[in-house]
Amino acid sequence: MEMFRGSATLYILLSAYNGAKYIAEQIESIGAQSLTDWVLIVRDDGSADSTVRIVEELTRMDGRVRLLRDGRGNLGPVASFGALLEWASARGAAYVALSDQDDVWKADKLERQLALLMAHEAAVGLDHPTLVHSDLAVVSDDLQPIHPSYLRRQRLEHLAVDPLRRLLVQNFVTGCTAVFNGALLRAVTPVPPVVMHDWWLAQCAAATGSILFVEEATVLYRQHEANVLGSRGALRMYADALRRPADQWARDAHHLAASREQACILATRLRELPSGSRVDARRLELVGGFCEALRDGRSPLGQLREVRRLGVRPRSLTYPLFFYLRILCGVPPGSESSRQL
């Protein structure tokens, strides 16, 4: 593994919330990485359990582990990771990895992903925003195997060619697997009020640079009663939708409206990037076009035609059908910011 250039440091960012049960095991797996040149920054998001005490003990055992005390209390996962990303950006981080509090990393995770990222940088330049993600192995709370591939279980896939058309409506990048460079960090910060921080990262990477993929699982993705999202599996999701179609219909409407809002935020961010940023005009037109396609006042049929023309759609045979039907039945009104774009 090529060492970092100069004094560049990899910052691993972890937002913790009531994670006392599993956080020590996760940090120990980070400590066991084959790549050792890193600093782990843990931000506690207002835990009521012994999370802070456990992390404080681990900082005394390993000087690479540090607790961020910013006095901002509970922000929620998106804003908490946003605070961490902005902290790293302010310090000129060259490389960043994200970590959840309850998983376990395989020992070669960072080494494999940084090797791929740095090889890509050598080909396209350090100023090219680049993100590397991987698959995950789904496991139980005691790390017993459930499924070897999170992406297959969820009927998701990494899209190597033109990923932005899918990422505008469906995320396939799991944040706890992501490693990315300083160029992407500068593009995503400050983090706006988006649906999820990893979706925002993926969209910005697809719009301004590259997304690379390690097919093998680098993370044991622990499933337990307190997962924020977790891996329910596509079949269970389909079954739940059939049992409670009205609830699913409402969720689809909310997701479509949120997709539009986030696309409008992304369009604004792309236009505000420094003049030296090399954003492909076609990608900027795609993001702005999707935002415009679903604007208020446009007929549902007109919205559908424009979305199909743009080629924006989720994966699988069934999802696009429901996606198009949801558009025909009406997208919930947008915010004032989206109406102005």
pLDDT at 81 (0 to 100)? 98
Query: Taking a C-beta distance cutoff of 8 angstroms, is the pair 184, 205 a contact?
Result: yes
- The number of residues making up the chain comes to 341
244-251 long-range Cβ contacts below 8 angstroms, 24+ apart: 249/326
Asked if pLDDT for residue 255 goes beyond 90, the answer is: no
Find tokens 């970092």 and name the residue.
4
CB 96 within 8 A of CB 191: no
Residue 127 CB contacts under 8 Å (≥ 6 apart), including other chains? 183, 276
d(CA 112, CA 109): 6
pLDDT of 280 reads 87
Contacts of residue 268, Cβ cutoff 8 Å, sequence gap at least 6: 337, 341
**CATH 3.90.550.10 domain locations along the chain:** 10-222
- Residues 292-331 pLDDT 10s: 999 888 899 999 999 999 999 998 656 677 788 889 988 8
The whole-model pTM stands at: 0.90
DSSP annotation of 4: P
- The confidence band for 233, taking pLDDT boundaries of 50, 70 and 90, is low
Q: Which two tokens stand for residue 264?
A: 């409008």
The span from the CA of 210 to the CA of 179, in Å, is: 12
What percentage of the chain carries pLDDT values higher than 70? 87
Q: Hey, what CATH topology would domain 10-222 get?
A: Spore Coat Polysaccharide Biosynthesis Protein SpsA; Chain A (3.90.550)
Q: Are 206 and 159 in contact (CB under 8 A)?
A: no
Name the 3-class secondary structure at 216.
strand
